[in-house]
Chains A and B, each alone.
Chain A
Amino acid sequence: MGVVTVTAKFKPAVKEPGIPGMLRMTEERFTFTPTDQRSTVKLDVSFSKIKAHRFTKEGTKQALLNILHDTEKGGGYIFEFDNFSDRNVCRDFVGKVLGKFQTVPSPVQNAPELSTLVHGEQISAAELERRMKLLREDSELQKLHKQFVMSGVLTEAEFWAARKNMLDSDTYRTSKQRAGFKSAILADVRPLTDGQSNKVTFSLTREIIHQIFAEKPAVRQAFLNFVPSKMTENDFWKKYFKADFLYRAKNTLAAAAEAAEDEELAVFLKKDDIVAEESRRKIRRVDPTLDMAADAGDDYMHVMDHGILRDGSKETADTDNGLPQRTLLQDLNRHAAVVLEGRSNEVELGDTRAVAEALAKSKQVELSNQAEDEDANPDRLQRLRRMTEIEDLQGSQNLPFAALCIKDPREYFDSQHAIALKTLRETGGGTKFDNLILSAKEAYEYLVDQISEVKGGMNGPVIQSEAAIKILSGLNQHVSSTKYNLGKSPQESVLGRLPNKTKDEILDNWASIQELLQHFWSSYPITTSYLYSKVTRIKDAMTQIYRRLEEIKESVQSDVRHQVSLLIKPMLQALDAAFAHFDNEQQKRSAKSEGRHNGVAP
C-alpha cells in the first residue's frame, strides 16, 4: 500500500479555519506536521486506535476527512484538503488500512478468499472495488459483512448475491454522464478586432473545430475534400472564417462576389445540402399517425423570409444572389439537434482530420441504418393501416389461445377453505361435538322449544353485574395491550424507552436475523449439496442468535422486560418457523434416503 503524503489543513474543530501542513499516512500510523514550525500542533497517531472515518460528499463546499478514534462521541481528527481528489486518495487509503486492522484479529480472515476459490468465482478488480466502496460507506453493512462473511457463515459471493441491486445502482451512479456540446459556440466564436489595423482575429480550439464539424457537415465534407490536397489546414480555416465574417457582416454583395470568384469559399456560404438532406429524411420518418401533414416546412432549416437574423435585425435581405440567410432560429435548432444526437466518445480531440473522418464515418453508419429504415417503408404503411383500421370492416383477428379446462371446479374453489377447516380441527381439540349426528326432526323440535321458552318471557336480568365487570375489564386489558407499542414519536416508541445498549443489541440482532433468514429461505428448495451445507451453516448461526436473544431477554431489568420480550417475540417466532422448516425437511430427507437405501438393498 505504501505511503501517502499530501498537503492538508488540520482542524481541531469543524468551525475553525485549520492549520496548514503535511499529512503523511503509512500502513501503521498517520502523522501531521504543520508548515509553520512554531505551531505546537503535531500529530502522530497509530491506525490501531482508529475506529472509523467519515467524509464530506463530493461537490460540497469543503473536502473534509474525519478520522474517528471514538465513534460514539464523535472524537476524531478532521483534515481539510485542497481538492476532492486529494481527499479521496486519503479516504481510500484510510479505508483500506482500517479494513486491514479490523480483520487482523479474526482467526479465519482467509475465509472469503477460500470460499471464493471453492466456489470458483471470478471477481473483477472493479467489482471488488465497488464492494469495498459500499462497505466503506455503510458501516451497518460492514458490520454485517464482518459478522457473517469473516466468520464463515456466508461466503463472499452469497453475501453479495443478495445485494445485487446495491451493486447495480452503484454502477449506475458512477457511470459518467457524457457532456454534450457547449452552447457557447452560438455566441462565442466571434471576431475580435484590435481597432487599429484591419485585422480580424478568430480564435479556434479543438473543441470548437469538433463542434463545427458536427454542426456543419458541409464544412466537414469540404475539409475532407480540400485538406491537405488543395490547401493547408490553416488556409482552410482562414477561408471558413472569411466566409463567416462576410456572412456575419451581412455584406451579401461582397459575399456573392467572393463566392463567384472562389468556389471553395462558396461552399461555406451555400446552403448545407447534407443538413437539408438529413432533415428531409427525418421528416419522412415522422410517424404518420402522429402527424400526417409533416413536411419540409416543419423543420426551420430552410424556411425563408421569417425569423430573426443573427445580428438581431428582422429585415430580410434580397435573396437573389442565391446565398441563403440563416436565421437565429435555424442556428439554434441545428445546434439543439446536434446536442441531442450526442457526441461519440471515441472521437479524440486530436488530429483535425481524424475528427472529421470519424464524424463522417459515424454519419455514414447512421445513414446506412436509416437506409434500412427506408426499406422498412412497407412495414410503416402496414402499421399505418393497422392504426387507422375500421373495425367493422375487418375480419376477426384469430389470436391463438388455449381454453382453460378445469376438470373439477369444486376442487379448485374449495381447496382454499381446507386450510381453515384444518386449523379449526386442530384448535377444536376433537370434542364430542364433531362426531355428533342429529336427526333433523329432533333438532328442529329443540329449536322451536327454545323459541317458545323465550316467548314465555325472560326470567332474571340479562346479565350478571359481576360477569359484566369481568368482561369489561377483560376487553379493556386486551385493547390496551394491543395498542401499547404503537408510538408515533421515537421517544414514545418502546425502543426509545429502552437503555441504549439493549436497544443497539436488539437492532443489531434484528439486522442479523433478517440477513440470515433471507439467505435461509432463499436456499429452499434444496437441490444441491452446496445449498444444503449453506442452510446448515446458517441454521447454526441462527441458533447462536436465538441464544443471544434469550440472554438479552433475561439480562434486562424487570421494568422493561415485558416490552423487550414483546419486541423479541416476533424475531424468535421467525427463527422458530425457520427451524421448524429445517427439521421438517431434514426428516423428509432422511426418510427419503432411507427409503432409497432399502430399495437398493434387498
Chain B
Amino acid sequence: MASSVSSKLYSDDVSLVVVLLDVNPFFWAGVNANSGTNQPAAALSFSKFLSHVLPFVSSILLINPLNQVVVIAAGVKSCGYIYDSGGGSDGTSVSDLRAGFLRRLEEFVERDRQLCRDGERAAATTSSLLSGSLSLALCYIQRVFRSGILHPQPRILCLQGSPDGPDQYVAVMNAIFSAQRSVVPIDSCVVGIRHSAFLQQASHITGGIYLKPQQLDALFQYLSVVFAADLQSRSFLQLPKSAGVDFRASCFCHKKPIDRGYVCSVCLSIFCKTHKKCSTCGSDFKQASADSRSKSDSKRKTLEAS
C-alpha cells in the first residue's frame, strides 16, 4: 500500500473514504453520565463507538484492496489526521491497524487536552470542530485530485455526535459548497441525540446520505449497509433518503424561523417585522416606507422546502 498512488490502475469502484471522527470529550463523557437513566438506545459509550468504527474502517479496506481510508479526529480545540491507510507506516494487518489507530488517537486526545486550560468546565453540548475537520478532509482530497489523472473516488463520512456549533455556520457552509464544487459527497451518520442541521444540509447539497440510526448498539450494521458501498455502486442501490431539509431562514431580530419576512435591501438581513432602520447595517428605510408603507422593502420569501 505504500507504493505511489498514481502508479495504480484505478477503476471507478475504488474509494477514498475520509472519516471524520467526533472526539469531543464533553459529548462522550456527557453521554456516559447520562446513560442508564433514559434512552438506552441513544446511549453509546466511546469505546463501543470505536469498536463499531474500527471494523467498518477495516471492512472498507477489505472490499477493495485499492481502497484508501483516512480518519480525521475532530476535537473541541483542534483537529488532526489520525489514520491514513495509504501512509504505509502502520502496516496492513488488522491488529496493526487497530494499534496504530488507537495510538494516534491517544496522542490526539493528549494534544487536544493540552490546549484546554486547567480547570476549564464546559457543557456537554459543546460542539466539535466540524468545520476544521471538513476543511482538512477537503485539503487531503484536493491533494489526491492533484496526484494524477487516476485517483480513487473520494467521499467524506461524518460520524458526529455533538451538536452543531452555530459559530461555525459560515465556515461549515463554505466547506460544504467547496465539496459540492469538487463533487465530493458528504455522508453523515449522526450518533448524537438530535439531528444535525449542518450535516443535513451538507448531505443534501453534496448528494450524500444523511442517516440518524435509531439503534446505536448496532452502529456497525448501519455503517456497513448504508455507507460502505462505493459511489459507482450507489447508483444501483436504493439507499435511505432523508425526508427533507428545512431551508427556512430565521429572522435576525428574534432568531425565529420564518416563512415570509422582510429583507433589508442593502445587506439582505431578514426580519419578521418592519423596522425603520436595519439593525445590522443601519440602513434607513424611512424614505422608502414614507410613500408606500413598508411595501418597498418587503420581499416575500417563499418556502423552499416543506
Given A412-B269, A439-B119, A463-B218, A570 and B306 touching (CB < 8 A)?
Answer: yes
Q: State whether A443 touches B282 (Cβ < 8 A).
A: no
* Contact residue among A415, A431, A452, A475 (Cβ-Cβ distance under 8 Å from B39): A431
Task: Let me know if B290 is at the binding interface, CB within 8 A.
Answer: no
Task: Let me know if B304 is at the binding interface, CB within 8 A.
Answer: no
Given A431-B38, A437-B123, A475-B226, A404 and B47 touching (CB < 8 A)?
Answer: no
The interface size of chain A toward B, counting residues with CB under 8 Å, comes to 70
Of chain B, the residue at the smallest CB distance from A415 is B252
In the complex, A419 Cα to B169 Cα: how many Å? 12
Chain B 175-214 residues near chain A, CB threshold 8 A: 193-195, 197-198, 213-214
Most buried by B among A438, A470, A483, A524: A438
Chain B residues within 8 Å of A434, by CB: 123-125
Given A412-B269, A419-B257, A479-B238, A437 and B164 touching (CB < 8 A)?
Answer: no
Q: State whether A443 touches B50 (Cβ < 8 A).
A: no
Q: State whether B215 touches A439 (Cβ < 8 A).
A: no
Q: State whether A412 touches B267 (Cβ < 8 A).
A: yes
Task: Let me know if A176 is at the binding interface, CB within 8 A.
Answer: no
Of chain A, the residue at the smallest CB distance from B200 is A420
Chain B residues within 8 Å of A558, by CB: none
* Listed stretches A41-49, A159-167, A312-320, A422-430; interface member: A422-430
Q: State whether B240 touches A454 (Cβ < 8 A).
A: no
Q: State whether B198 touches A463 (Cβ < 8 A).
A: no
Given A416-B250, A454-B51, A448 and B106 touching (CB < 8 A)?
Answer: yes
Given A431-B38, A436-B124, A463-B220, A414 and B167 touching (CB < 8 A)?
Answer: yes
* Contact residue among A427, A478, A524 (Cβ-Cβ distance under 8 Å from B260): A524
* Listed stretches B12-20, B23-31, B137-145, B149-157; interface member: B23-31
Task: Let me know if A122 is at the binding interface, CB within 8 A.
Answer: no
Q: State whether B267 touches A453 (Cβ < 8 A).
A: no
Task: Let me know if A450 is at the binding interface, CB within 8 A.
Answer: yes
In the complex, A500 Cα to B270 Cα: how many Å? 46
Contact with B along A471-486 (1 / 0, CB 8 A): 1101100111011000
Most buried by B among A418, A427, A432, A462: A462
Given A433-B125, A439-B120, A570-B306, A412 and B109 touching (CB < 8 A)?
Answer: no
Chain B residues within 8 Å of A446, by CB: 25, 28-29, 32, 46
Q: State whether B51 touches A451 (Cβ < 8 A).
A: no
Chain B residues within 8 Å of A416, by CB: 169, 249-250
Task: Let me know if B221 is at the binding interface, CB within 8 A.
Answer: yes
Chain B residues within 8 Å of A480, by CB: 238
Given A405-B281, A417-B169, A432-B34, A447 and B248 touching (CB < 8 A)?
Answer: no
Contact with A along B267-297 (1 / 0, CB 8 A): 1011000000001111000000000010000
Task: Let me know if B63 is at the binding interface, CB within 8 A.
Answer: no
Task: Let me know if B234 is at the binding interface, CB within 8 A.
Answer: no
Chain A 390-419 residues near chain B, CB threshold 8 A: 402, 404-408, 410-419
Q: State whether A450 touches B215 (Cβ < 8 A).
A: no
Q: State whether B37 touches A428 (Cβ < 8 A).
A: no
Chain B residues within 8 Å of A443, by CB: 25-26, 28-29, 122
Given A411-B252, A416-B250, A419-B250, A440 and B116 touching (CB < 8 A)?
Answer: yes
Chain A residues within 8 Å of B193, by CB: 428, 431, 433
* Contact residue among B117, B122, B169 (Cβ-Cβ distance under 8 Å from A438): B122
In the complex, A37 Cα to B28 Cα: how many Å? 99
* Contact residue among B29, B106, B169, B256 (Cβ-Cβ distance under 8 Å from A414): B169
Chain A residues within 8 Å of B124, by CB: 433-434, 436-438
Of chain B, the residue at the smallest CB distance from A483 is B238
Contact with A along B230-243 (1 / 0, CB 8 A): 00000000111101
Chain A residues within 8 Å of B106, by CB: 448, 451-452
Q: State whether B197 touches A424 (Cβ < 8 A).
A: yes
Contact with A along B104-126 (1 / 0, CB 8 A): 01100110110011111111110
Q: State whether A442 touches B280 (Cβ < 8 A).
A: no
* Contact residue among A428, A444, A482, A577 (Cβ-Cβ distance under 8 Å from B241): A482
Chain B residues within 8 Å of A483, by CB: 238, 241
Q: State whether A404 touches B266 (Cβ < 8 A).
A: yes
Chain A residues within 8 Å of B213, by CB: 471
Chain B residues within 8 Å of A453, by CB: 47
A-B contact pairs, 28 of them (CB 8 A): A404-B281, A405-B281, A406-B280, A416-B250, A419-B256, A421-B164, A424-B164, A431-B39, A433-B31, A438-B123, A438-B124, A440-B25, A440-B118, A443-B122, A444-B112, A450-B50, A451-B47, A451-B109, A454-B47, A458-B51, A463-B218, A463-B221, A464-B218, A471-B215, A471-B221, A472-B221, A475-B225, A581-B259
Which B residues are closer than 8 A to A by beta carbons?
23, 25-26, 28-34, 37-39, 45-47, 50-52, 54-55, 98-99, 102, 105-106, 109-110, 112-113, 116-125, 163-164, 166-167, 169-170, 193-195, 197-198, 213-215, 217-218, 220-222, 225-226, 238-241, 243, 246, 248-252, 255-257, 259-260, 266-267, 269-270, 279-282, 293, 306
Supplied contacts A427-B194, A441-B119, A444-B112, 17 more A-B pairs, CB within 8 Å: A410-B167, A412-B280, A413-B170, A416-B250, A419-B197, A428-B193, A428-B194, A431-B34, A433-B30, A436-B123, A438-B29, A446-B28, A467-B221, A479-B239, A524-B260, A574-B306, A581-B259
Q: Which 6 pairs show the lowest CB-CB distances between chains A and B? A: A420-B197, A418-B255, A443-B25, A417-B166, A419-B250, A450-B46
